[in-house]
Amino acid sequence: MTPEEFKQALAQRGIDLTSKQLDQFQQYYQQLVTVNKQVNLTRITAESDVYLKHFYDSLTGAFAYPALKTELLSLVDIGAGAGFPSLPLKLAFPQLKVTIVDSLNKRLNFLRDLIADLGLTGVELVHARAEDFSKAKSKYRQRYDVATARAVARMSVLAEYCLPTVKVGGLFLAYKAAAADEELEHAQGAISKLGGKFQKTVSLTLPTQPEPEQRNLILIDKVKNTPSQYPRRAGTPAKKPLQ
């Protein structure tokens, strides 16, 4: 996907990027591949792949949840790595207030420099393990309208990372690939225990060659407070997923 194809594909979805926004995405790409030579941020570095599999893929969250396009929402991205999906969402929809959480300082340093160079405001970076970020007495607990994560963990584990950060009435938006239905089935008990309720899955395909890649956006409503014992201590959710 070239930058022009990226622009056109989004326009077909009703997302019209300005010249400034397109320049910001190009700057994002340039800094990503430059820093990636010293710091392992991504294995995807070809421009066409970054635009499709990182930038466009990140923005599919707004296809599934259109409020991201226009509403003044607070969004937290758990385990954002090189900034996906939250920074592409912020670039396309500047009204979003974004918090990015990651456990590695080297990735946060990249993001800090990138955010400054792009001139972005309304972005907070937090160095923390996902389990520690939203402990019972954390100022970040149940604070956000939307929590999201991409390529972090299977759904039963991801729910324990994300749902404690979402306010009642908010949304957990999970980016998943082809195995989404199976993951969701195994995660139903965890989602319920953590105060969530499955709303829907939005399925789409990325126009990859030679075969299109399936993507699934899973929307989980936050319907009640998360019990204070969740999330459990660091490492436990992955080792002993909630049932």
**Residue 13 labelled as part of a binding site:** no
**Residue 129 labelled as part of a binding site:** no
**Residue 67 labelled as part of a binding site:** no
- DSSP letters, 173-197, are EEEE-TTHHHHHHHHHHHHHHTTEE
**Residue 84 labelled as part of a binding site:** yes
| Rounded Cα gap, residues 26 and 68, in angstroms | 22
| Rounded Cα gap, residues 2 and 162, in angstroms | 33
| Rounded Cα gap, residues 2 and 32, in angstroms | 16
**Residue 141 labelled as part of a binding site:** no
Torsion sign (Cα): 233, 236, 240, 241: positive
Which residues carry a binding-site annotation for S-adenosyl-L-methionine? Answer: 79, 84, 130-131, 150
Which residues carry a binding-site annotation? Answer: 79, 84, 130-131, 150
